[in-house]
Structure 1
Amino acid sequence: MRHFVYVPDRFYLLYKLRENCSIARKLGMRYMKTTIENIYKIRVSHIIIIAGFIILLINKYANLLDFDFLDPLSKSSITLLGIIAVSSVVLFQKKSFFLILVFLFAFNTWLLTRDTTLIVFLLFAATTQSTKKKLLNTFLTVQSIILASCIITYFLALKIKFINVSLYNTGDRTRYTFFFLQPNNFGIQFAFTIICFIYISKLSSSISIAILAISSAFLYIFPNCVTGCVVLVIYALLILFFNKPDFFKKKILRFTPYLVAIIGILIFSLYLTGKTGFIGKIISGTFSYRFIGSVMAIRLYGVNLTGHYLDKLGETLFIDGQWGTFWLDFAYVRVLVEFGIIGALIFTVILIHSIRSMIRNKDYSSLILITIVLFYGLSEWGAFSALTAFPLLLTTTPSPIKASMRCIKAEKNTNSWKIIPATIQQKTSFLTD
């Protein structure tokens, strides 16, 4: 004979509630543990990337300053250390086979050309958004300390003469080098540091324009860096024009980066064909030598898939019936000649993807910075280095596979209940009845 025990509904509900609370508590502890582990990993990864970034920044100045305190082997070793530190974190975080292949190509390009521009640009473009904010703050701090030390020490040396200082004479102008090998090297470092300060500080437009005006005057009076002055003035005009962007201004800003690049390529094409016409008269002088040097590079090396080592930089050569010193400052052509077609494609794809992402996210301040980089690249090779042009730290690498996976996950997770594992759904199914 069977006996049935009656259990009131309230006891059953209390039992189920207790069981459900136990499951929720275990789930919460598990997620808390995972969160703590992720925070720990993020902090460690940030420290490693920032350390590698500082190493690369300091090594950059070892090549720019007029001091031989490191031999070439030491510089290469320090560069390798910085690249290993950054790549060990970035490649582990991304876990992308395609990114690893591109990194291996960029690494091989560095060994071939002895130029870290491509590999450094690729690595920092692949960093996370939280890391990029820390990179910008680190960039501003390191740049400010080094440049302020150079400026103060240089003026003290001119006044007290406790150490020898070099001056750069060009025609009737005496240019202050501030311990740099060339005044233009100081100019580009100073210009991007000022722009970075304005970008991070988020100052009002009037204060920003005043700082840019003073900085531009400083660059013109002491190191006489015309390109740096022009870039700061253009940045001030862009801030003034796009201070309160309306629909029309936003449309203009979307096409401005592409327009700058297209104009530069068209001018180079005119010099390459020898049909400069009135354009050659307009940009005659120092600026025209950038395009002449680019034509010399095409004549000397040509263009291939993997690039060339530019072994004749700074030499006086006889090309196209005339003698001239070979310099390649036009960044667009230098990327193509030095890193080859593959390297130029990598550079271009990342830039275009980043510009489209900034437009999609309505990040107009970053879009203005990329425009400044593309304009500066018409005259200075350093404008395409992520260790100098900090806006390149804001770029991102495209990942179409991950983007499509995110779309699929978004469709599957339209109902928030589906985020919870199936085993827990079964145990807590009474809540949905």
Structure 2
Amino acid sequence: MKVTIWGNELLAWTAAAALAESGNHVLLVTNEHEVPNEAETEFKVSNEPGLEQLITDSKACGRLKVGSDEEGVIHASNHILALNPDQFVTAERLVARLSQTHSSNLLIINQSNFGVGSSDRLQSQIGEANNQVICYIPDMLAEGSALQDYKWPQTYIIGCTNDWAMLNIKALFRPFSQAVKQWMIMTAKEAEFTKFANTGMLALRLGYINELANLADQLEVDIEVIREAMVTDPRIGPHYLHPGCGFGGLHFQQYIEALSELMSEARNSKLLDTVLTENEKQKEQPFRKLWRHYDCDLENRVVTIWGLSFKPGTASIDNAPSLKVINTLLAQNCRVQVHDPEAMGNIREHFGEQPNLAYFDNGYDSLKKSDGLLLLTDWPEYWSPDYDEILNQMKYPLIIDGRNIFDKEMLESLGFIYYGVGR
């Protein structure tokens, strides 16, 4: 099949690579007006494991091309919109052009975060009677596992009530549907709301467990003991119930913000607004623990940070706790020494060269003469480090574990001073 994909988001590149790999001829349009400079997109693509190589392979075999909007309009009658949330006007103009070029049998799959009701607004511009159909499929990709999520989904949520469109959607996604357990077919508006509802629930669980962890600190109980007991209740379960120093990510945050705005406008509800506000405070928890330990005096302290990406498995630092912590430490005139398995290039690009900020390719080297280690991202390589080497490198054996990955009792038995989240 021929497919045109519009956008420069993670979804756009992932869909383009995966669909091309499965035999489709894909044209990716990353800029509405001109052929983009592909070097400008390399940084974003390289954040996602495996994606850059698959794009390269798909281009080499000729099934994936990056082109202009003029080419995109005429390339195919199947289109996927993966635009930024603020590009709805662009989407309206694009739909109008596509409907003029393809007078019938035009399938447009909207996967952009434009809000509840946006697909219906786009559909109102064109004639469904001629099979000019706009459907909505939520973007369910998680950064760090985007290719796996796209190629092996467990469920498809499809906002579509047109039989012709559903036939074509199932044909397009047939290579990825062999393991699908359920097709959830509903209206576009219901599918849009479902995506918001899912994201909001995850945010609420994260916010709740972090609130419990902060309370556990005050009550001097171990939140890990509490959490382990909570998850034995089948009504609760373990998902998104790990306390930490706040969640990040670009798309997750965008969906929560959009749902928070919708709830505020329609219901005067501040529920998710509170979650977002408290999450920003949570990102400061490792710094606050360090600040209190040193009696509010961090002048000229050497502080090491392990983990800079917003979560393991990705190089992305979008809304990562590390950004806030580094800025706060630098404001206190600390020397900050940082390490991350994947995000070093992104963090260096973000902060540049500064006299009090040092970048290390080796995690143990970043601990030299350090007055404290702040663990902010739970990368696998941090879970079982060489504790003797850590003690040898550090000036003062203080560990602040922002993800609760270390065994508190063992660390304390080795001579470390340990602070966790709710521990």
Question: After TM superposition, is the score higher than 0.5?
Answer: no
Q: Which protein is richer in strand relative to its size?
A: 2
TM-score normalized by structure 1? 0.25
Structure whose residues are more often helix by fraction: 1
RCO higher in 1 or 2 (8 Å CA, sep ≥ 6)?
A: 1
